[in-house]
């Protein structure tokens, strides 16, 4: 399974999303990560299905929609219609996770489960065979530009081991504080999809930053000191 880079448009200029997406696609972005926040599960409010539809019209890369909302069951159909290719939902808000994961798949969308930093990976055991991917949060969700929580590296390793034990084919994605400094380490720990917001859109050249992140993740360029 090859590495995929998923720039998070949360840190892009919302008045120029089309340009932001085109830039990272020139830089080789594999996915466009879209952070949906409801001001309830997380303190921030971002975007909804109409904006995802608009992005879908201009993006060539598949849309990876991360739902940080209290009631995802109510909205998965709308986000599927808006053009999500992948959709992830938080373990913390779903007592009937199995049903939600299968509802996402029934819409023809890849289904992922997300764990917050303090959510134990043991909660993956009984869903590992059903999900297409597991998203490990390496910051507490809600905002871009936060610092990577060091324990996430061990958590990635433990997640890979758990998925292997369960003979799950789920891919591991990591989200939060990913940069040139830790990209190679999270890949070594088992991450196959790297989400990055500030490290890409917080720079003056998101196209270059996308290329650099892939190079750093695959050991091509050393992280600056």
Q: Closest CB to ligand DX5 among 28 and 117?
A: 117
Is residue 66 part of the contact set for ligand DX5 (CB under 6 A)?
yes
Is residue 35 part of the contact set for ligand DX5 (CB under 6 A)?
yes
Residues 6+ apart with CB under 8 A from 131: 101, 111, 112, 113, 168, 170
Q: Is 175 a catalytic residue?
A: yes
- Choosing from 30, 38, 175, 212, which is the catalytic residue? 175
Mapping DSSP onto H, E and C, the string for 68-110 reads: ECCCHHHCHHHHHHHCEEEEEEEHHHCCCHHHHHHHHHHCCCE
Q: Which of 24, 36, 82, 139 binds ligand DX5 (CB under 6 A)?
A: 139
Residues 6+ apart with CB under 8 A from 59: 21, 25, 32
Please report, to the nearest 10 degrees, the dihedral formed by the alpha carbons of residues 224, 184, 193, 179 taken in order.
-20
**171-175 and 133-137 beta bridge pairing:** parallel
Q: Which of 49, 62, 83, 177 binds ligand DX5 (CB under 6 A)?
A: 177
Phi, psi for residue 222 in degrees, rounded to 5: -75, 145
Is residue 195 part of the contact set for ligand DX5 (CB under 6 A)?
yes
Q: Which of 8, 159, 168, 182 binds ligand DX5 (CB under 6 A)?
A: 8
Q: Which of 30, 38, 175, 212 binds Zn ion (CB under 5 A)?
A: 175
Is residue 176 part of the contact set for ligand DX5 (CB under 6 A)?
yes
Is residue 141 part of the contact set for ligand DX5 (CB under 6 A)?
yes
Only segment of 92-100, 121-129, 134-142, 162-170 that touches ligand DX5 (CB under 6 A): 134-142
- Choosing from 30, 35, 38, 132, which is the catalytic residue? 35
Is residue 66 part of the contact set for Zn ion (CB under 5 A)?
yes
List active site positions: 35, 175
């Amino acid at each position: 399974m090859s590495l995929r880079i998923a720039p998070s448009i949360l840190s892009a200029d919302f008045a120029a999303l089309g340009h932001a997406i085109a830039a990272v696609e020139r830089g080789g972005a594999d996915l466009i990560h879209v952070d949906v926040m409801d001001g309830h599960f997380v303190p921030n409010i971002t975007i909804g299905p109409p904006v995802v539809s608009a992005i879908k019209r201009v993006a060539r890369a598949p849309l990876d929609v991360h739902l940080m909302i209290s009631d995802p069951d109510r909205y998965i159909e709308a986000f599927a219609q808006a053009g999500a290719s992948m959709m992830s939902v938080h373990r913390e808000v779903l007592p009937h996770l199995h049903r939600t994961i299968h509802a996402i798949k029934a819409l023809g969308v890849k289904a992922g489960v997300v764990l917050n930093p303090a959510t134990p990976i043991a909660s993956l055991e009984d869903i590992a065979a059903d999900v297409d991917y597991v998203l490990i949060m390496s910051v507490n969700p809600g905002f871009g530009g936060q610092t990577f929580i060091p324990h996430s590296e061990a958590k990635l390793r433990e997640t890979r081991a758990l998925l292997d034990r369960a003979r799950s084919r789920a891919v591991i994605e990591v989200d939060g504080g990913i940069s040139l400094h830790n990209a190679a380490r999270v890949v070594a720990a088992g991450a196959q999809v790297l989400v990055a917001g500030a490290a890409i859109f917080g720079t003056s050249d998101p196209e270059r930053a996308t290329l650099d992140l892939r190079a750093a993740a695959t050991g091509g360029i050393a992280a600056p000191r």
